[in-house]
Structure 1
């Protein structure tokens, strides 16, 4: 019997290794390459010749996306966050496209692998920390002690705040990974259950319409989750940048 988790298997397409080090081109690498290619091709196509005065639906979609990310940065970070627009826009677009590609049957969901989402979250965590030190220098450590806190509690509060701050590097990636993996697994289980009932025939064929109907409903829900998780990942990145720039 096929396992619902087989959809997350990493398959080596072009084996590349040097001794004990493996750098194979996998199905995960292929999907990320396709996602990046689609992202660049779409925006290059839309922005060719500076766009149109009266935008078509493609240009309108791009402008809507630009406006959405711009407003998000304005609300969460303020005017100082405008210089981070390319980073935030790229993060949102990349995660969104990868999530949506994963909804195509027989494709691969890149964001369902912890190594990918954890790599993204750790990279963002390191970058945000660097921004904090560039902006405030050693005064950035004041972020670990809430204003107005009693000095007698400082040692305990600093440890708690340091653990909480460091945990951002984990929680940001785990949240995306867990939601995408759980949703795809559930859809696969219900689809397999419904298909098994249909293959039995008789009254079970009619009963199988129930799980298959749930699968279609969950597929629509997963499309919403794919967009929502890209938004959540992006808005949390904005919040972390806001904390690094403005401290408490």
Structure 2
């Protein structure tokens, strides 16, 4: 009984923290069903303006096209980043050497360079290639990041070398070992890296805003900014757009949350 009483403050703290953490999500859901005036008055109960907000949103912006652009960027970036960064992390650890440690240190130092410092040269490169307003130009700069390479490298340290030696004795080449043994064994790390990459690519605003000039190829973050850029902002419509933009990342995280936790834990160990 005494032990249970000692646990009460901890559970109470977690409960209060959970309420504070979920409140923004609740307010977003409620605001999507209310009028702009109700949102400004901080109404905390659902309203009856959801259908009206839907009509206004789809009349004001091409939501389906923006969702398609964001989905193409997020999925393309995630798939390519997982392949490239996992191969790099695999190579850094399985074929370990002092020179690779120096190269990894250089990659980590590159994380300290702000994207704003490389954005203009990057834009000039894609402009000369004629890739402005191309989703490809949004995807390519994000398919190889030091963070994901480090994540796969750290996780690869737990990969048993005995399996590699046995596979090589059986005649498997390195590509077959990677595809048939490494990927299934490291699926938790792939899930964690996939969640991080998908959420980052979906929510990315700065680089798409620079390279995607035409509204026909705008993403959901750009659409949300456009809704709030006028003289009068309809906050009910704005919150509905935010809700629609948040759903894919929430769904992906909920589906892969257990693998995400295992992948992050394995990398830390």
Higher relative contact order (CA 8 A, sep 6+): 2
TM-score by length of 2: 0.30
State the TM-score, normalizing by the size of structure 1.
Answer: 0.32
